[in-house]
Chains A and B, each alone.
Chain A
Amino acid sequence: DIQLTQSPSALSASIRDRVTITCRASQSISNYLHWFQQKPGKAPKLLIYAASTLQSDVPSRFSGSGSGTDFTLTISSLQPEDFATYYCQQTSSPPWTFGQGTKVEIK
């Protein structure tokens, strides 16, 4: 199975901060890497697919980069509604796997 390791597991940040979350795959997954945002009691919401393509209706402050084994999700200016848990997911080969999540909290 392909393992995805996210870092950090949690972070505290202030409004308008720039936030970066990384996701490292245990083997190359090309750009079959997606990012989700999840709020308590809700289904995950797709933010970025294919490593760097912004899903429709997602604010442009979210961006993704990377290819192969190393990927990054960046929030350019953190907004109050962005406090949530973020997951990366690979769909390069089954079993599709998720990172363990990064919880973004208010400082």
Chain B
Amino acid sequence: QLQLQESGPGLVQSSETLSLTCTVSGGSISTSSYYWTWIRQPPGKGLEWVGNIYYTGTTHYNPSLKSRVSIFKDTSKNQFSLKLNSVTSADTAVYFCARPRSEYYYSMDVWGQGTTVAISS
């Protein structure tokens, strides 16, 4: 059974870089046609798609974050990661990793539990 687990620092200084990792178990991050995604949720607010990485390494990002965000994968560790530069208080959120199923209209059936990141000034 596929499982995802986010990890990373819970507190990041303003203007620094936020770095999070999602560890995949029960399946391979290199499986053909698989996407992997990051989604975030500010406190008390709705969900925002951050970006995807395809099994080939191709990435797509939310234009609202595009200049600051990068997603990459480490197949040897079966992990994919998020880096967000120049963070501000607006980046305070719970960050989720998830798996969109390309064969089912990219619906996300497996999610990590989420990790809370606070940006301090």
> Which residues of the other chain, A, contact B98 by a CB distance below 8 angstroms?
43
Q: Could you tell me how many residues of chain B have their Cβ less than 8 Å away from some Cβ of chain A?
A: 22
A77-107 contacts to B, CB under 8 A, are: 87, 89, 91, 94-101
- The verdict on A50 contacting chain B, using a C-beta distance below 8 Å, is yes
Total A-B pairs in contact (CB under 8 Å)?
61
Q: Could you tell me how many residues of chain A have their Cβ less than 8 Å away from some Cβ of chain B?
A: 25
Q: Is the CB of A43 within 8 A of B49?
A: no
CA distance A44 to B99 in the complex (A): 12
Q: Is the CB of A97 within 8 A of B49?
A: yes
Q: Is the CB of B109 within 8 A of A32?
A: no
CA distance A96 to B47 in the complex (A): 10
A42-63 contacts to B, CB under 8 A, are: 42-46, 49-50, 53, 55
- The verdict on A34 contacting chain B, using a C-beta distance below 8 Å, is yes
